[in-house]
Chain A
Amino acid sequence: MTKILLIDDEPDILRVLSMSLKADGYEVFTALGGKEGLKLFEREAPSIILTDIRMPGMDGLEVLRRIKECRADTEVIIITGHGDIDSAIEALQFGASDFINKPVRDEALSIALKRAHEKLKIRSQLKDYTNDLETMCEIATEEFERKSNFQAKLIRSSNDGIVATDEDWNIVIINPGAQKIFGYSRADTAGKTDIRALFPKQAIDILEENARHPDSVEEIPWQEMNIISKSGESIPVRFSGATLREKNQMIGSVAFFQDLREIKRLEKELVNSERLAAIGQTVAGMAHCIKNILHGFKGGSYLVDIGIDKNNTDKLKNGWQMIQRTIARTSDLVLDLLSYSKEREVEYEPCRPNEIADDVCELLKENANDYDIEIRKQFSPDIGEIRLDPRILHRGLLNLVSNAIDACIFDDGLQKSHHVKVATALDEDQRIRFEIIDNGSGMDKDVKEKLFTSFFSTKGPKGTGLGLLVTRKLIEEHRGTIEFESEEGEGTRFIIRLPYEMTNRE
């Protein structure tokens, strides 16, 4: 029920109005003066007040002022007499919601009350709406803060370095990960530094290129590069990044860096331990080789001793030959070691590669024939005289062809008829190609892996474990390549490619 307070100094008017309003369903309070009215107002807090403007003591305007001071949302309707238009206007200025003239007619009163009601209703709706809005706004703000907090923490706690910029490449976020890699603190950079002064050129080029092409992929694939930290240290990192766009407009960029120092350190350690293992194998291989050589010397001197003791020339001769052969073996090993460890200038001179290949085949033919191994030659007639280093070629072919023969000797496939094919051909890019193909034992995975990496021999006492390494080293010094394919039990194919020069005559 709406409370109405009536203030008038005329008891009759109060009575009549009060009856009529009660009949309309209001709870009515009455007061015969301003002061009494204000007391009731304070006690009952009515939402509508009807007050006469002219009253002894406190007049209606004063009542209005005090009420509005106290509760501005109270509807105050002023009752005015004839010729009180000035006071009425003043009352409106003070915030009265309406005025009605005396004598108060029911019709005018009900219109004024209806208006007052509407105003109250709208005001209350507005208030509810505003309250709602404020609550919603608070909830939204909280949610937003929570999310942005979460993201900030996410960025802060990332192990990767994250650097975000505005559209002018100025840093707005540099997380602890990035600070650690670059060695700059947040205070050093945020809002001031242009990333173009911080990132390597490679990364800037990528980002700028990405920014220039709004259609390009937004994410840049990871790639390795080095950044220079504050202290001038070059730090290996993996970099990725993206330009941030809104409606095709660049609004900033973000870059991600992964510190690779630890990984690189571990890689280095691995290489070192592999090198140590290789040295260990070298020493073991050399010891084996030297054991065999010692055996040769001991055997030789034993025979010589017997020859001298018994005056037996045959024994003496055999012993001396054994010693000579062992000296040759020693010299092979020492020369292999030397040529493996020493740099040698490549000496180009005119030569005929087919003739060199033929020499090598003839040299090894006798040994191959002993084991029923056929040597097949397939030399390209297009190869005439050209310029390359004939010593390197001879040394390489000799090594590979005798390896191929050994692979046939060592092969368990007893029913096979073994052969070694030596082929020459001209290749593109001014290169000459040599192929050495055998159908011998082939190599298993283990042998293939160890082939070039360590001093490794499958030949026991006969191998220095250096031959192939020397060959590869010489060929690489000649800026050539060596590659192979091999199938266990099927055979092996080695391919050498060497660059050559034309001779002046051609």
Chain B
Amino acid sequence: MGKTVLVVDDDPDVRLFNTTVCEENGYTPIEAANGEEGLAILKDKKPDLVILDVLMPKQSGIRLYRELKTSKALKDIRVIILSGIAKKTFLRSQKALTEFGGDEIPEPEIYLEKPVEPEELAEVLKKVLGE
């Protein structure tokens, strides 16, 4: 059984695309439609990697990423952000939350902007999961 990848995105089409890329490359995908669902699965199943969207209802990717990185149990889970939002916008909102009294958190190691080529996503998956 391959490594598990949690795909968090509110757009079912994006989830289908992401899970297909995972399957085609030998990983086991799990799906979540929003941040709240995603966090529950993260705690429950401890996947090896999360592919995370940013703008979602019921807890956005901005918040989920923050909770993930500040939780002792979850902070080592690798994260790929895949969003229509530009990287600098995401970083700006994280910076604002930090200034607002939040903890200092590391930048995401991989940030992909939609649209992404399936080959590119597959490559990134391989790189991050070390194969």
Interface residues of A (CB under 8 A from B): 288, 291-292, 294-300, 302-303, 306, 315, 318, 322, 325-326, 371, 406, 409-410, 412, 414, 459-462
Contact = CB atoms under 8 A, between A and B. Distances in A.
Contact of A302 (B20, B55, B113): B20
27 contacts: A288-B85, A291-B114, A292-B11, A292-B84, A295-B14, A295-B17, A295-B116, A297-B115, A298-B118, A299-B16, A300-B13, A302-B17, A302-B20, A302-B21, A303-B16, A303-B17, A303-B20, A306-B24, A322-B16, A326-B13, A409-B58, A410-B57, A412-B59, A414-B58, A459-B55, A460-B54, A460-B85
Contact of B84 (A371, A410, A461): A461
Most B CB within 10 A of own CB, among A292, A318, A414: A292
Interface string B102-131: 000000000001111110000000000000
Going nearest first, the 7 A-B pairs with the smallest beta carbon separation are: A460-B55, A299-B17, A295-B115, A294-B115, A409-B57, A295-B114, A302-B118
Contacts of A326: 13
Given A298-B116, A298-B117, A409-B58, A315 B84 contact: no
Majority secondary structure, B binding face: loop
Interface of B: 11, 13-14, 16-17, 20-21, 24, 36, 54-55, 57-59, 84-85, 113-118
A306 B84 contact: no
A303 B54 CA distance: 23
Contacts of A306: 20, 24
Given A292-B114, A295-B17, 20 more contacts: A288-B84, A295-B114, A295-B116, A297-B115, A298-B118, A299-B16, A299-B20, A299-B118, A303-B16, A303-B17, A303-B20, A322-B16, A322-B17, A325-B13, A371-B57, A406-B57, A409-B57, A459-B55, A460-B84, A461-B55
A443 B24 CA distance: 42
Contacts of A300: 13
A412 B59 CA distance: 7
Majority secondary structure, A binding face: helix
A288 B57 CA distance: 18
Contacts of A460: 54-55, 84-85
Contacts of A302: 17, 20-21, 118
A291 B20 contact: no
A261 B100 CA distance: 46
B128 to A, nearest CB: 20
A296 B11 CA distance: 10
Nearest to A371: B57
Contact of B115 (A298, A371, A409, A459): A298
